[in-house]
A and B are shown apart, each in its own frame.
Chain A
Amino acid sequence: MTEQKKLLEVKNLSISFQVKNACLHAIRGVGFSLYAGKTLAIVGESGSGKSVSARAIMGILSKNERIDTGHILLYENAKDYFDILSLKKSQIISKVCGNKISMIFQDPMTSLNPTMTIGNQIMEGLKKHQKLRKKDAWEKAVSLLEEVGITQAEKRMKCYPHQLSGGMRQRVVIAIALSCDPDILICDEPTTSLDVTIQAKILNLLIEIQKKKNLSILFITHDFGVVAKIADDVAVMYAGKIVEQGTAEEIFYDPRHPYTRGLLSSVPDLDNMEDKLYSIPGTTPNLLDEVQGEVFAQRNPYALNIDFEKEAPSFQLSETHTVASWLLHEKAPEIEVYPQLTKRIHHMLAVSS
């Protein structure tokens, strides 16, 4: 592996929600790292805790959300780093948000202010963080709009969000996120509400910007097609835990956790004219109920007895590939989990070589 510059490291993060009289453990010991110029995709269903992890990094958790354990380390270089969780909220806003880390959200209409022109919204951050004068900020904003592929940028500066299409709005949001030259961009399902053709264009734009600026991207999504396009590394989350983590190739061509295999099986396959989709039975669990053993065991047709008793440890398959499943234990029986997926992977490898 080549030398990679580590920018952010999340260590053993646990977050719980205070709901009425109960305590909901939304994130249970999550850890991952972000590297310069690389994209880490966090994949999971709704309620798996992928957005909460991202919000914790930005310090924008709600009042009832509490960080129980963990560190979020932001690196200047290998020796010089600080823990975001040790900062006060106002410090995070001035030191981290915008300058170091920016975030874009799913719905561009709700992240833009409907009563402000998009020009003013882009200039807001420039004036505050970079202390630019109005004229300079204006020029920078125009060039940012051009950079994200908006034509007639001068004219668009005076538009309000409702005058733009969904794809254009998301481009504006990206321009705002990039305005203070962050090192890390967190994208929380940025293309989910867009049409496929627009989605493809926005993803291409993100990839292009990443190359140009050596940006590190944390990409949160539930769509494996999008992951395949954008991710270098992938972390699969289920019920607040990362169940499998590895490079994109390890996850797509050699998935080991039954949940990853099940999820990949349920993605519709275009090359294959089979008429049945595979699906994981059941739904994501309610984390308010205490679960003994593996949370996924209830939905796992291949669950072992021990899955219902004890949580699985993490098994290291390669330098990058880790899987938390009892199936990888040396004493586990050899079961082929979701065998139809193996066929599909063979086909995928054949097509792409």
Chain B
Amino acid sequence: MEKENTAQDEMPLLNVIHLKQYFKVDKKNIIKAVNGITFQIKEGETYGLVGESGSGKTTIGRSIIRIYEPSDGTVYLEGKKISGKMDEEKRRFISKRIQMIFQDPMASLNPRKKVIDIIAQGLDIHEKGLSKEERQKKVYRIMELVGLSKEHANRYPHEFSGGQRQRIGIARAIIINPKLIIADEAISSLDVSIQAQIVNLMKNLQKELGTTYLFIAHDLAIVKYISNHIGVLHLGYLVESGTTEEIFRNPVHPYTKSLLSAIPHPNPKIEKTRKLLDYDFEANQETYEKAREYHLEGEHYVLATEEQFNRWSDEHPAFIY
């Protein structure tokens, strides 16, 4: 338990406590998309949020940046509360410090604007006093940083390939030097060779600028490469969280195991014989409500009922204290 104390001494950049996000469909039905999620991200680190479609991973990102109004829970950024009642000051605080990168770069870039104006959007809002030359200089510098050339500045988004468009999206996000970037499936629609380029770019930018990432994705293999910590989401619950190594070396929750078992390995001899671990969540859905978080080792936590926890402990005697 020593580790926990040291973790508390250091203030996390983002602290999400019991975040809930419900959506009212009609008078009777409420969709509980996010059910009391708690996690922290330290400055300069990457937190990977994984889960299948419908697990609530995108909703969490959007609730933090206040695209949605959270139903319950608190969110702190740099120790300042950013949830609750919204005012102009808070809005500026958030938009200056948190930026987002989206999945489909074509849909998230205005097709009628030139690249230079898309990238400079943040500057136009947050640094109004800039002269035209300074603005241009800043945009060129950022474009170079993300691997685009100056000549690209006066083109339109449709003139670029998918990977280049995502670079534009990244440039737009980093130009105002945000503390946190929420990357929502930022590389899912790209080709393998381009995926690798963008992941490496994001890692290099992190080294250079110290940006913190909340990396939302469904592909655990890619998440492994970029994240320091991973949270596994299922039906709006954080079923397991820990460092990347802890999750990959010792997955405890059956849902995490089934997700890991479903990742295809590029090795035909293994892949043709490997068994898929199926997790029947319909039978287990109810148990999430009664479950609580158990500490396993280091920063490794799992959501379980007492009965489940005892059962899994028997299966993993070495790792559970």
List the interface of chain A (C-beta within 8 A of B). Answer: 45-46, 166, 195-201, 204, 222-229, 231, 248-249, 252, 262-264, 266-271, 273, 275-281, 283-284, 348-349, 351-353
Contacts and interface: CB of A to CB of B under 8 A. Distances in A.
B262 A248 contact: no
A194 to B, nearest CB: 9
Contacts of A269: 221, 266
Interface in B239-260: 245, 248, 258-259
Contacts of A197: 52, 258-259, 262, 276, 278-279
B266 A228 contact: yes
Nearest to A262: B193
Nearest to B190: A46
Contacts, number: 130
Contacts of A196: 52, 218-220, 259, 262-264
B101 to A, nearest CB: 18
B272 interface: yes
Nearest to B201: A279
A114 B269 CA distance: 40
A180 to B, nearest CB: 29
B191 A270 contact: no
Contacts of A284: 161, 191
Interface of B: 52-53, 161-164, 191-197, 199-200, 203, 218-222, 224-225, 245, 248, 258-259, 261-272, 276, 278-279
Contact of B266 (A198, A225, A275, A280): A225
A45 B225 CA distance: 21
B264 A223 contact: yes
Most A CB within 10 A of own CB, among B164, B268, B270: B268
A109 to B, nearest CB: 13
6 contacts: A201-B276, A204-B276, A228-B272, A279-B196, A280-B197, A284-B161
A319 B111 CA distance: 50
Contact of A195 (B53, B261, B265): B53
Nearest to B162: A46
Nearest to B244: A273
A267 B266 contact: yes
Contact of A273 (B245, B259, B266): B245
A280 B193 contact: yes
Contacts of A270: 221, 224, 248, 263, 265
Contact of B267 (A226, A276, A281, A351): A351
Contacts of B194: 45, 279, 283
Given A166-B53, A270-B248, A279-B197, A45 B191 contact: yes
A32 to B, nearest CB: 18
Contacts of A229: 264, 268, 271-272
Given A226-B264, A283-B194, 16 more contacts: A195-B53, A195-B218, A200-B264, A201-B276, A223-B192, A224-B264, A249-B268, A266-B196, A268-B196, A269-B221, A270-B265, A275-B203, A277-B225, A284-B191, A352-B267, A352-B269
Interface centre among B248, B262, B267 (most CB of A within 10 A): B267
Given A262-B193, A283-B194, A268 B224 contact: yes
A228 B276 contact: no
A264 B53 CA distance: 27
B195 A266 contact: yes
Contact of B192 (A252, A266, A349): A266
Contact of B264 (A46, A228, A352): A228
